[in-house]
């Protein structure tokens, strides 16, 4: 056998080097590179030793049209969870569930396994982090102590696969967490990229051969990446992240990748003292405790997948005592904030160069939609001018660099949700002129075309209120 040259792999992102370095060039992590043995290259895994056959097997190629069956699924019965998976766990699929420590991953999975077990499915919960007694304690706290879940505290993948392969294959198996698993086929220590990869590979093979849906729990690093094996993300069928901050009660389940369903749907939960509660109307939750008279807040009518979601965007613009004013943003893209500020300065006539600017999406939600531009701009203008926005109005629209307000998708759903929650007005882009026959809008929309209209509208309101 050829002598293997040592290989070094970054434990954070999986990049491979042929010598040790202090800093990973791929992910900028310090001290993350570790020598790996057992495989010459952790990115490709153990080298196959099967002798190659002289001739390949000939397989039939198929056309695009033809009969194809829907993937069979097992719904959990937890509506917010099923929404994210696309209607239930697909048989034989593997889901990677990432999230900060303490966010509630184990709680969610315990509730999901108990729900399935109570429906009569065989489910297994393998914890590599907690002892059986601890898992039991959590189940009891959740009121699920009687659910027929098969429980074990194990970390060896070969043992787990052998145990689960006995008898009827489980409908769902939880591996909590993939970082604690180790396989005998790889020599490195548990938690290293090679181990995590090797373990994930074995568990994925188990899922595909038995039809068991497997959920791998993955830890997340400070910057939100699933720690260790970003490579695992490519191997699994779905990557789902569980988000929220520990200072708030609500948690959001979001599919980042999904081979069997949508990636833009979110599930909303609330952490209570008896576990996670489904939140079927998140807008109400995100708008609760709103200060109606305060300047600097605007309600954004957003969309998460097919579901409209109303959230409050808060801005604080204050004179700066620093040479370079501060720009801080929570729950939104900082570069989008810079763009909105630039557009407000260039086309809205606002002077923000000497002001600190803070922007916050209330409730700990993270917004990625460009449609939030207009709501953010409205909150900023309102804070700078000190005049509050009408409390019964929602805002949405994308801001172009020219200052033009551009139409966004699903206008009707946004307006309907706003009307449902008691809003009576909307400041939004003028509907596209090429729309054949605009449907009747559920509330009074004030279409605006340019950012100057927005600034003028808020200024006029201020004059009225001071007159
Ligand atoms: P856990 O599911 O253990 O988090 P993870 O597996 O993601 O690390 O949840 C831990 C937190 O959830 C812990 O801080 C306590 C809180 N919690 C509740 O508030 N209510 C509950 O019913 C349970 C079980 C946990
Ligand atoms: Mg846990």
Q: Quote the ligand 2 centre to 180 CA distance (angstroms).
A: 11
Residue 45 pLDDT: 47
Whether 362 and 250 have beta carbons less than 8 Å apart is answered as no
pTM here is 0.78
Q: Quote the ligand 2 centre to 173 CA distance (angstroms).
A: 15
Q: Quote the ligand 2 centre to 124 CA distance (angstroms).
A: 15
Residue 137 pLDDT: 94
Residue 436 pLDDT: 43
Residue 435 pLDDT: 53
- Among 100, 102, 144, the mutation site with the greatest number of ligand 1 atoms within 8 A of its Cβ is 102
Residue 40 pLDDT: 44
Q: Which ligand is nearest to the CA of 140?
A: 1
Residue that is written with structure tokens 């400070």 in the block = 222
Q: Which atom of ligand 1 is nearest to the CA of 99?
A: 7
Residue 194 pLDDT: 82
Closest residue to atom 21 of ligand 1, CA basis: 275
- As for ligand 1, residues whose beta carbon falls within 6 Å of it are 99, 101-107, 138, 141-142, 271, 273-275
From CA 224, how far away is CA 262, in angstroms rounded?
Answer: 21
- Among 107, 128, 130, the mutation site with the greatest number of ligand 1 atoms within 8 A of its Cβ is 107
Q: Quote the ligand 2 centre to 424 CA distance (angstroms).
A: 44
Q: Quote the ligand 2 centre to 284 CA distance (angstroms).
A: 29
Q: Which atom of ligand 1 is nearest to the CA of 176?
A: 6
Q: Quote the ligand 1 centre to 107 CA distance (angstroms).
A: 6
Closest residue to atom 18 of ligand 1, CA basis: 273
Residues whose CB falls within 8 Å of the CB of residue 261, separated by 6 or more in sequence, listed in order: 84, 85, 86, 87, 238, 255
According to DSSP, the residues that pair with 425 across neighbouring strands are 393, 444
* Residue 52 DSSP class: P
What's the mean per-residue pLDDT of the chain?
A: 87
Closest residue to atom 8 of ligand 1, CA basis: 102
Read off the tokens for 376. 């953010």
* Residue 39 DSSP class: S
Q: Which residues in the chain land under pLDDT 70? A: 1-5, 37-54, 221-229, 432-441, 467
Q: Which ligand is nearest to the CA of 98?
A: 1
Closest residue to atom 12 of ligand 1, CA basis: 104
Q: Quote the ligand 1 centre to 273 CA distance (angstroms).
A: 9
Residue 30 pLDDT: 81
**DSSP alpha helices (H): ranges in 372-446?**
373-385, 411-420
Residue 438 pLDDT: 52
Quickly count: other Cβ atoms within 10 Å of residue 320's Cβ.
15
Q: Quote the ligand 2 centre to 128 CA distance (angstroms).
A: 9
Q: Quote the ligand 1 centre to 102 CA distance (angstroms).
A: 6
Q: Locate the DSSP E strands across 15-88.
A: 16-17, 33-36, 73-74
Closest residue to atom 22 of ligand 1, CA basis: 275
Closest residue to atom 10 of ligand 1, CA basis: 102
Please classify residue 325 by burial: count the beta carbons closer than 10 Å to its beta carbon, then call 0-12 exposed, 13-18 middle and 19+ buried: middle
Q: Quote the ligand 1 centre to 272 CA distance (angstroms).
A: 9
Please classify residue 153 by burial: count the beta carbons closer than 10 Å to its beta carbon, then call 0-12 exposed, 13-18 middle and 19+ buried: middle
Q: Which atom of ligand 1 is nearest to the CA of 138?
A: 24
From CA 373, how far away is CA 400, in angstroms rounded?
Answer: 9
Closest residue to atom 15 of ligand 1, CA basis: 102
Read off the tokens for 418. 């706003």
- Among 100, 101, 104, 141, the mutation site with the greatest number of ligand 1 atoms within 8 A of its Cβ is 104
Read off the tokens for 52. 């190659």
Residue 26 pLDDT: 82
Residues whose CB falls within 8 Å of the CB of residue 280, separated by 6 or more in sequence, listed in order: 79, 80
Closest residue to atom 14 of ligand 1, CA basis: 102
């Amino acid at each position: 056998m050829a002598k293997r040259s040592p290989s070094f792999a970054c434990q954070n992102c999986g990049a491979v080097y042929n010598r040790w370095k202090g800093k990973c060039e791929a992910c900028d992590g310090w001290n993350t590179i570790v020598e790996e043995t057992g495989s010459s290259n952790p990115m490709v895994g153990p080298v196959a030793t099967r002798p190659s056959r002289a001739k390949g097997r000939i397989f039939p190629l198929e056309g695009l049209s033809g009969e194809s069956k829907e993937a069979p699924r097992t719904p959990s019965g937890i509506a917010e969870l099923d929404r994210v998976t696309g209607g239930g766990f697909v048989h034989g699929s593997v889901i990677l569930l990432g999230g900060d420590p303490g966010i509630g991953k184990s709680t969610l999975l315990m509730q999901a396994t108990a729900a399935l077990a109570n429906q009569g499915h065989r489910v297994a919960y393998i914890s590599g982090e907690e002892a059986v007694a601890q898992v039991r304690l959590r189940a009891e706290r959740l009121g699920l102590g009687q659910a027929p879940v098969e429980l074990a505290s194990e970390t060896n993948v070969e043992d787990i696969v052998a145990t689960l392969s006995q008898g009827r294959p489980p409908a769902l198996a939880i591996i909590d967490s993939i970082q604690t698993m180790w396989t005998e086929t790889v020599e490195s220590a548990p938690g290293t990229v090679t181990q995590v990869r090797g373990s994930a590979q074995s568990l994925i093979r188990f899922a595909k051969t038995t039809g068991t849906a497997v959920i791998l729990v993955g830890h997340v690093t400070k910057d939100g990446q699933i720690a260790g094996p970003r490579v695992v993300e490519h191997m699994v069928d779905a990557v789902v992240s569980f988000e929220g901050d520990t200072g708030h009660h609500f948690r959001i389940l979001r599919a980042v990748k999904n081979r069997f369903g949508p990636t833009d749907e979110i599930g909303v939960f609330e952490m209570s003292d008896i576990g996670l509660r489904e939140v079927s109307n998140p807008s109400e939750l995100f708008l609760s405790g709103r200060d109606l008279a305060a300047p600097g807040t605007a309600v954004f009518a957003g969309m998460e997948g097919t579901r409209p979601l109303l959230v409050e965007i808060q801005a604080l613009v204050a004179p700066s005592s620093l040479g370079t004013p501060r720009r801080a943003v929570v729950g939104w893209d900082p570069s989008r904030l810079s763009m909105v500020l630039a557009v407000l300065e260039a086309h809205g006539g606002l002077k923000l160069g000497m002001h600190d600017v803070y922007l916050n999406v209330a409730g700990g939600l993270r917004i990625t939609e460009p449609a939030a531009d207009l709501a953010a701009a409205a909150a900023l203008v309102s804070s700078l001018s000190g005049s509050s926005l009408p409390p019964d109005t929602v805002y949405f629209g994308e801001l172009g660099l020219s200052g033009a307000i551009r139409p966004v998708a699903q206008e009707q759903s946004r307006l309907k949700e706003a009307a449902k929650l008691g809003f009576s007005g909307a400041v939004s882009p003028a509907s596209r002129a090429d729309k054949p026959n605009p449907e009747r809008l559920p509330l009074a929309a004030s279409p605006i075309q340019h950012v100057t209209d927005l600034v003028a509208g808020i200024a006029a309101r201020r004059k009225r209120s001071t007159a």
